[in-house]
Structure 1
Amino acid sequence: MLPAEITTVRLRLTLPGVADVPAMIALANDPVVEEMTLTMPYPYGEADAVAFINRANVSRKEGSAFMYAIRLKGVDEFMGGVGLHIDPKYGYGELGYWMGAPFRGKGYVTEAVGALIDLAFETTGLVRIQAMTRDHNHASGKILLNNGMQREAVMEDHTIKNGEVQTVIQYRILRREWTK
């Protein structure tokens, strides 16, 4: 099981809580977040934030997912989220993340994703971590490449979002490729 809090050079990754709901709503109600993510609802309301927090708590107890709020060290402000969904039967994890507009372009997501990859390989038996990005989300692809992941596949017509068929790019890092 991954810890409830992870620290990096600049960040604290913590469990999301009820106090984060106003910031989650404000930051997630951004057309860019909606456009670049596969599963974030839009508009994003209080019920969505509360459901996310509940899922984060239940899945942590089950050991099926570990979701974190991204915060600067010494600051409780919610900036975005990062998580890892684990399939123990098949030995892989799926990364997901998003960042609020005021905090983009500063390397915070790259740092959070790197910490989560390292911790997952250090503390679990996963053999693979993967992530999917929308095909036009080049910034997200760069985050994954900067963390040692490789572009693995173009998955055409993979998902339907808002009634439109979406192509996604899949990235992966294998345990045997990972170096800390």
Structure 2
Amino acid sequence: MYNSEKRTITTERLILRPFALSDAQRVSELCNNYNVYKSTLTLPHPYPIDCALSWIETHEVEFNNDNSYEFAITDKNTNELYGAIGLRNNRTHRNGELGYWIGEEQWGNGYATEATKAVINFAFTEKHYHKVYARFFASNPGSGRVMQKSGMLKEGVLLQHIYKENEFVDLIHYGILNTGATN
């Protein structure tokens, strides 16, 4: 459920909320994990606190300008920060790219799937997108399972599309249409 005043999305176990500058240390800790880095498109490694601070500082303007929506994935009861999920807005085509990461110690708990379903719902009901899409490295099949469990369908493979860590890697593309949308 989306609360527009607080800009939060509440699910069964999670609260997706705006990041605060006080989250920067934890973001830096989670993103400095090599296994998180190697499964993401844009995270640098190492990931110093300055990167986290500058990233968080962009969120308010981007949200207010309807360019992108970044949420901290947190535990509903403890407020522990598990990761991040974001949605980029492509107004021209009424779609958006979804991206997420979860700290490695929380992998396998279903948090990415729960957050992904909630953000897809946000995209369709609040932002009236026609489509949401996401991509993952072929070497990260867990991310593909998150997309599948969230109702997304495989649309194709971009062969050797990304150069990461001195090799070309495949990028697998998934998407979901808003079947309730009107044109």
Do both proteins adopt the same fold according to a TM-score greater than 0.5, normalized to the shorter chain?
yes
Match of 1:39 in 2: 42
Partner secondary structure for residue 96 of structure 2: strand
Match of 1:48 in 2: 51
Q: Percent identity?
A: 33
2:22 paired with 1:12: no
Shift, 1:84, TM fit: 0.5
**Runs of 5+ unmatched residues, structure 1:** none
Q: 1:166 aligns with which of 134, 156, 169?
A: 169
Shift, 1:157, TM fit: 2.3
**Runs of 5+ unmatched residues, structure 2:** none
Q: Conserved in 1, the CA contact under 8 Å of 2:96 and 2:129? A: yes
Partner secondary structure for residue 97 of structure 1: strand
2:147 paired with 1:140: no
Amino acid corresponding to residue 138 of structure 2 in structure 1: D
Match of 2:154 in 1: 151
**Distance in 2 between residues matched to 1:89 and 1:2, nearest whole Å:** 26
For residues 5-154 of structure 1, the aligned pairs below 5 Å read: 5-154=8-157
How does the TM-score come out when normalised to structure 2?
0.92
Q: Conserved in 1, the CA contact under 8 Å of 2:147 and 2:174? A: yes
**Distance in 2 between residues matched to 1:131 and 1:45, nearest whole Å:** 26
**Distance in 2 between residues matched to 1:162 and 1:59, nearest whole Å:** 30
Partner secondary structure for residue 112 of structure 1: helix
**Distance in 1 between residues matched to 2:64 and 2:101, nearest whole Å:** 23
**Distance in 2 between residues matched to 1:177 and 1:43, nearest whole Å:** 42
**Distance in 2 between residues matched to 1:122 and 1:40, nearest whole Å:** 29
Q: Conserved in 2, the CA contact under 8 Å of 1:2 and 1:123? A: no
Q: Conserved in 2, the CA contact under 8 Å of 1:2 and 1:120? A: no
Q: Over residues 58-111 of structure 1, what are the superposed CA-to-partner deviations in whole Å (9 max), with x where a residue is unaligned?
A: 210110100000111122221100010010011111000000022111101100
Q: Conserved in 1, the CA contact under 8 Å of 2:21 and 2:57? A: no
**Distance in 2 between residues matched to 1:161 and 1:47, nearest whole Å:** 23
Amino acid corresponding to residue 27 of structure 2 in structure 1: M
Shift, 1:160, TM fit: 2.3
